[in-house]
Each structure stands twice: as structure tokens, then as C-alpha cells.
Structure 1
Amino acid sequence: MKHQKGIHHITALAGDAQRNAEFYTQVLGMRLVKKSVNQDDPGTYHLFYGNQSANPGSSLTFFPWPNAVQGKAGTGEVVNVALQVPEGTQDYWESRLTDHGVDYTMEDIFGRTALRFSDPDGMELDLVFEGQAKEKVENVDYIVHFDKTIQGFWGARMYLTEREHTEKLLNELFEFEQVANEGNLYLYQTDAEIGHSVIIEVADAPIHGQNGRGIVHHIAFRTENKEELDQLREQVDKRGLHPTQIIDRHWFNSVYYRVPAGVLFEMASDDPGYTVDEEFEHLGEHLILPPWLENKRDRIEEILPGIRVPSKATS
């Protein structure tokens, strides 16, 4: 089977960790698939939410900083994260968001219906109604019934002052093709089941943003394994984009670089995956540290605030 290209994960900044966990698990019904720490700042959580299968292409992750200032989106950033839910579930999601006090608007995204709202830290989210539900995953709790739950990413929207260079990277490295254009919006897609879409919104002039909670830190694109990652790194280096060396993130290998338009890109391998250190049925239940941080566990656990994530299905 051909390896699917597309978005691997998206990482953003949050404020309160408990509030973040409650919103993404109890309101949106995503699965907490990994509870770990920021490997570059181990006193900060790194929380990974995904679909019930914990697939690449479904992981929305957060660094919660309790004292973070409110962020403000600007150009050179990912300004919208779109999650894919099955067609025919719009009434359910409208009721669910209303019941949880989440205000939303109805949007048309290149002919697709979407509900747009913000998370508790102000990050803009879309629920895009497209495709069908996957089969139920056994031995895993569902907060939202399996035939209505979030399937993974639909895509992301970047707000840029230029698109040509970023478009070239999306196409040549990650196999995204331009499929539509409406005004200053350009849609690029791959043939992946999830994480298949990127929208570039072209700004007339630069807009200065403010880093803080509610701001996307980086967007990661899928590679099959470390070997392909190394090959793509060479291509990025030849383009003069100064990629990092391959970094072992324990659950995947990564390379980072900033594109000329300003967005921080990551390339991440699908392997070895989240089950390298936890059984699939118990993902996200305990604080997991990469091996090189285990000797600091006691100190890390003293610093981190407690998080309680109920798993009982509600609807």
C-alpha cells in the first residue's frame, strides 16, 4: 500500500492544562493518546489528542503554559485547524457545541459545510463534514459515538503574504496539489484519508501577531520512516532552508525548518508510533517520559500540575 502523505500533527500553545484536556476530550470527544512533556522544556506538559485509533494525521498536540499571555494570530502562521467529522452529523455537532456553551458560525469551505468556533484559548477550529465514519475501535472508550466522532484532521489554513514558495514545498516534498481557488484562498490536497488539505490565505500586507496561548507553534507533515525523512531533509537543505538534524522524539523522528513565509514546518516519521511505550488500550493514561528523561521523573512530576481526564462515554 502506498504511504499516505499529508499532515502528521499540529502543535499549539495553550493556557491551563486541565481546561485544555477537558475541552478536547469531553467536548470534542478526542482521545488523549499521549501525556508527556515538552522535551525542550520538561517542566511543561505535551498533550497529544487524536482519533480513537491514534493514527498519524489525527494528532492535535499542545504545550500548556499556565501563565501564557493571550496570543494574537498574524501572517506567517497557521491560523485555523480543521477537523474532519462524518457527513450527516451536523445536527448532532450543532447541538453538542450549544450544550457545552460553545458559540459557532456556519461556514462554506470550498463547497463543504463547516462549523467554526474557538477553543478556550482562542484558537480557531473548524469541524468539516466530509466522508464516512470508520469502524468502531474495540476496547477504547468513546466520548462521542463512533459514527459521529472526529476522524482526524481535514486540514489547516495558513495566512501568508506570499504563497508561491510554500506552494512549491507542499507540492514537491509532500505531494499536495492545488485543486481550487476562491479569491485569496487556495486549496491544496493529497489523496490521504485524513490530514489531506492545506489552505493558503494570501494577505495584502503583513500583520504582526503575538505569540501566546491559542497560537499554533508548528505544523508537521508525514514521512513513512526515518529513511524517507533523511532524504527529504537533504532536499530541504539543498533549498537553503537550514533544516535541523534529525531529532529523536521517541514516538517519531523529526526535522524542523522555517519556510520563507514564516511558518515553522516539521517533517515527522509515522514510525515507531505511540504504542512504542504504552499498550494501545491504555494510551494517555499515565505520564510517559522518553528514556533520556526518566532519571528526572520525580522532579518533573513535582513541577507538573495534576490532570484528570474522565473517560466515560457520554453520547
Structure 2
Amino acid sequence: MKPLITGIHHITAIAGNPQANIDFYTGILGLRLVKKTINFDAPDVYHFYFGDELGRPGTVFTTFPFTGARKGTKGTGELTYTAFSIAADSLDYWKTRLERFDVKVSDVLTRFGDKLIRFEDHDGMGIELIANDQDDREGWSYGQIPKENSIKGFYGATLNLRSKELTAQLLTNHMDYRFIGEENGRFRYGTEGKPGDIVDILVNPAGNRGQQSAGTVHHIAFRTANTTTQLEVQKILWENGYQVTEVKDRNYFMSIYFREPGGVLFEIATDEPGFAIDEEEAHLGELLKLPDWAESSRAQIAKGLAPVVLNTEKYV
């Protein structure tokens, strides 16, 4: 039987200044702005989607930028580091590039045999770039980053939890994940164990709870093929005592949400229909796109959003 869940769909964070957010992820990191819309649950706030050329599942980092938001703090009960996948020989390029734009970068680290660097964005968001030769996805570049060095999509994510047992049971018993290995108190899980599906649990029994605001992750979404498989997952979760929401229409995918035992908000999102349903592929992310129910309030919504521009040329 085919698995119902096949890896990470997207990761969504809370950010501060919208323009600074676009500049960092498109300009410095080189991700494509594939959709500029609103937070469907807070229409006065942008929702940006950054990813590969088409915003394929497994590549999309999304943000809710709240102008003037205070900075959050990393801690337990949170996804504390989002890891992106790069080519095996790209670490020196990225270390030099990030330092050129005054981003403080860690020394080269080693984890489960892969080399990586760790840093934070302007809001304090934890990011890792993991160099590996296991990822055949093609990265995206606006041109300021050589294609061979571009980010390919997610490698994985780190959940910082006080204990792992119940979360591990959720992943392995109900979400098609399997245990891969342990290293220095870090427990690794994956659907196939490849870039794009890795979830690490870092156990920190005495850790302080994180405080969610700018620079922290709001939720992690896992991939399922379509609404049929999503309803199967929903049923499995309900039957095993998880408080799962009804299906929510997010235009570019359908979603259900629930809290895993350690406190992190999980989402199950469909691969269909994708980001090209309301913009041509060549023009993704250029216009402010609204769901049908918000179109009648477009003028009012647009007036309340800070103007933003895409300007990757200054990051060559």
C-alpha cells in the first residue's frame, strides 16, 4: 500500500518587516517568491510563499510578516531549525555569501555524516544549509546565485521537545515515518530518509518553552497526495485520539491541523492543486492574490498592507 504521507509539504514562520522578509529569502537565499497573498485567518497580514521554480511541495517556506512584531524565543515545543538542502560542494560558497551580507554563520558542523552550516535570518529564524549528494532536485535562482549552488528545497526540520516517545509514536505509527538513527541526543525519522522528508527530534527535558512571535515557526505541514488520502489521514488521527480540525481550503492546497504531543502545530496538506491555478508559471508571485471570499474587500485589504517590491539585483 502506498504511504499516505510522503514528507514535508511546507514550513510556515512568523516574521517581522515584510520587505526585509522578501529581501532575505529572495535576495540573500535566492528562493522564488511564488505567491503573495494574505493570511486567510488574519486578512490584514501578508502570507508569502518562497520555494523553487513552481513552489513544489517540499520546497516552500512561507511567512506571516507582522510589521512591528516583537522577536520570539526558541525553546521546547517548537520547530527551532529549518534545514535546506544544497549540493555537496556548496558550503564554502554559502559561507562566503552569507558573511558578505553580514549574516553570522556557524563553523562547519557534521551531522549523520553530512556537513552543514547554521545561521539566523534578520528576525532570528533558525536556518541550516545541509550539503549532500542525495538530492537530485533542481534548485531555483533569480540569477544572483549560480544554479549549481542554489537551494534545492527542504532537507528537514528539528523539533525541540522535552520528550520524544509520544511524538515518535505519532510519526511511526500514524504518519508513515520510520526511525532512522540517533546521534548525540538527536533522533532522526523519515519516510524514505532522503532530503525533503527528514524530521529530527532533539530531546531537551529541562528546556524552557519557546515563545512564538517573529523569528519562530508557526507550523510544519506534511505532504499527502490529494483530498482522498487527506481524509484517510484525518480518520486515522481521529481514531487515535488526536484533535484534528475540519478540512480547510487554502486555495493552493487543502489542510487539516492538529497539535502533536510535544506542542508543535502539525498540518497535513495536499500536493494538489499547486500555485499555478491563479497565475501563469512565468509570473508567479507578481500580484497580490486573494481568495474569492476576500475579493470584495480587495481595496481595503490592499490599503492596509505595506507596499513591497522584489529587488534581487542588489544581492548579486
SS in 2 for 1:96: helix
- List aligned pairs for 1:79-90, cutoff 5 A: 79-90=80-91
* Structure-1 residue corresponding to 2:196: 195
Decide whether aligned partners of structure 1 residues 297 and 282 sit closer, same or farther in structure 2, where only a CA change above 3 A counts: same
RMSD: 2.1
- Decide whether the 8 Å contact of 2:77 with 2:209 is kept in 1: no
SS in 1 for 2:199: strand
* Structure-2 residue corresponding to 1:25: 26
- 5+ residue gaps, structure 1, are none
Counterpart CA distance in 2 for 1:5 and 1:240 is 22
Give the C-alpha shift of residue 94 in structure 1: 1.3
- List aligned pairs for 1:177-216, cutoff 5 A: 177-191=178-192, 194-216=195-217
Counterpart CA distance in 2 for 1:161 and 1:218 is 18
Decide whether aligned partners of structure 1 residues 301 and 83 sit closer, same or farther in structure 2, where only a CA change above 3 A counts: same
- The aligned length equals 314
TM-score by length of 2: 0.94
Deviations 1:78-108 (A, max 9, x none): 0110000111111211111111111111221
* Structure-2 residue corresponding to 1:11: 12
- Decide whether the 8 Å contact of 1:142 with 1:313 is kept in 2: no
- Decide whether the 8 Å contact of 2:49 with 2:60 is kept in 1: yes
Counterpart CA distance in 2 for 1:116 and 1:89 is 14
Counterpart CA distance in 1 for 2:280 and 2:44 is 25
Counterpart CA distance in 2 for 1:41 and 1:72 is 22
Deviations 1:137-194 (A, max 9, x none): 89x8443222110000000000111212211222233322211101321011222764
- Decide whether the 8 Å contact of 1:46 with 1:63 is kept in 2: yes
TM-score by length of 1: 0.94
Deviations 1:294-314 (A, max 9, x none): 111111100000111125596
Counterpart CA distance in 2 for 1:29 and 1:141 is 6
- Decide whether the 8 Å contact of 1:250 with 1:290 is kept in 2: yes
- Decide whether the 8 Å contact of 1:243 with 1:255 is kept in 2: yes
The 10-residue stretch of structure 1 (97-106 or 3-12) with the greater mean CA deviation from structure 2: 3-12
Identity %: 38
- Letter in structure 2 aligned against 1:67: G
SS in 1 for 2:272: strand
Decide whether aligned partners of structure 1 residues 305 and 9 sit closer, same or farther in structure 2, where only a CA change above 3 A counts: same
- Among 116, 119, 122, the alignment partner of 2:121 is 119
Give the C-alpha shift of residue 258 in structure 1: 0.6
* Structure-2 residue corresponding to 1:233: 234
- Decide whether the 8 Å contact of 1:251 with 1:273 is kept in 2: yes
- Letter in structure 1 aligned against 2:217: V
- Whether 1:108 aligns to 2:110 is yes
- List aligned pairs for 1:49-68, cutoff 5 A: 49-68=50-69
- 5+ residue gaps, structure 2, are none
